[in-house]
């Protein structure tokens, strides 16, 4: 499998890529090869030993398989440790564009705990402390802010600002307010997707981060053509 590496920035310590949808960031039991991580190690062999987990060389954060957008990867262990601290201490600014069903409030903040679903290992669910029937179900705090930037007949385009980095956080939170991400196969129910949409409409368009050497950087990328085409069709 030929995996494209759309590199938008590179130095001795890091690589910043614009990941396309449909490619997993790193291998898993169900997908042992053919991932972005495999392509990165092929290009940068020294990256193979970088990180905490040999299955995730150089990876300090991830995007879901069907989410596209900006991703930063460490090229050496020192850079990995530096970036990991930036993430753990909440200093990284992430912004997404999402097309969601319905009409959420003009802006909002969603705060909840998220946990793995006991019924479906793929899913995360909102946990309400003290109200769960399953007392052993423990969640982790997740905070998501958003604002509406464009309205369509049955959809809204929102900018989303996750303040924490839980798995599926944006997708679960938007679904929890009745506005799931368009094209989301897990949290979107049986809604009919906009014509031409083949994956969830969630794009990581902005990344603000301090790089090793205390270089303060901001990366921004335009919507890919396939998602721009969806919005053009909705405007007609």
Q: Which residues are catalytic?
A: 64
d(CA 62, CA 106): 28
Six-digit token string for 86: 């930036």
Contacts of 61 (CB under 8 A, 6+ apart): 71, 72, 87, 92, 165
Contacts of 191 (CB under 8 A, 6+ apart): 101, 180, 182
- The 10 Å Cβ neighbour count of residue 16 is 20
Contacts of 81 (CB under 8 A, 6+ apart): none
Determine phi and psi for 225, rounding to 5 degrees: -60, -40
């Amino acid at each position: 499998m030929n995996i494209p590496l759309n590199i938008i920035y590179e130095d001795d310590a890091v690589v910043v890529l614009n990941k396309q949808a449909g490619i997993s960031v790193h291998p898993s039991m169900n997908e042992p090869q053919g991932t972005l991580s495999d392509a990165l190690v092929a290009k940068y062999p020294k990256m193979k030993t970088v990180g905490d987990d040999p299955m995730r060389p150089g990876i300090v954060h991830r995007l879901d398989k069907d989410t596209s957008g900006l991703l930063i990867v460490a090229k050496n262990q020192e850079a990995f440790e530096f970036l990991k601290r930036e993430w753990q201490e909440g200093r990284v600014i992430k912004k997404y564009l999402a097309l969601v069903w319905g009409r959420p409030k003009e802006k909002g903040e969603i705060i909840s705990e998220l946990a793995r679903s006991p019924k479906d290992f793929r899913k995360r669910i909102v946990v309400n402390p003290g109200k769960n029937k399953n007392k052993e179900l423990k969640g982790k705090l997740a905070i998501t802010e958003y604002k509406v930037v464009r309205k369509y007949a049955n959809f809204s385009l929102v900018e989303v600002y996750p303040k924490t980095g839980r798995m599926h956080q944006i997708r679960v939170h938007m679904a929890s307010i009745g506005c799931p991400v368009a094209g989301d196969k897990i949290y979107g129910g049986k809604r009919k997707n906009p014509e031409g949409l083949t994956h969830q409409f969630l794009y990581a368009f902005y990344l603000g981060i301090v790089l090793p050497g205390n270089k303060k950087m901001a990366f921004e990328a335009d919507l890919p053509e396939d998602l721009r085409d969806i919005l053009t069709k909705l405007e007609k």
